[in-house]
Amino acid sequence: MDGFPNSITKTALADFEEILAHSWTNFPESAEAFGNALLNHLDLLYRC
């Protein structure tokens, strides 16, 4: 396989939701920016 996988598994999505929930609970002032940064990185990897 070349590049980054271009699909998201249900497990990966559940993990991402858990990470964001933890972030919202423990770091509410920066959780949105953190989540957006993760999504931006995934988007960059997807385009490779």
Q: What is the C-alpha to C-alpha distance for residues 44 and 37, in angstroms, rounded to an integer? A: 11
7-28: per-residue pLDDT in tens? 778 998 899 999 999 999 999 9
Domain ranges of the chain: 10-47
Contact 31, 20 (CB under 8 A): yes
Res. 43: pLDDT tops 70: yes
pTM as predicted: 0.73
DSSP state, 5? -
Residue 3: pLDDT over 70: no
Q: What is the pLDDT of residue 8?
A: 79
The token pair at 5 is 């996988």
| 30 CA to centre of own chain | 14
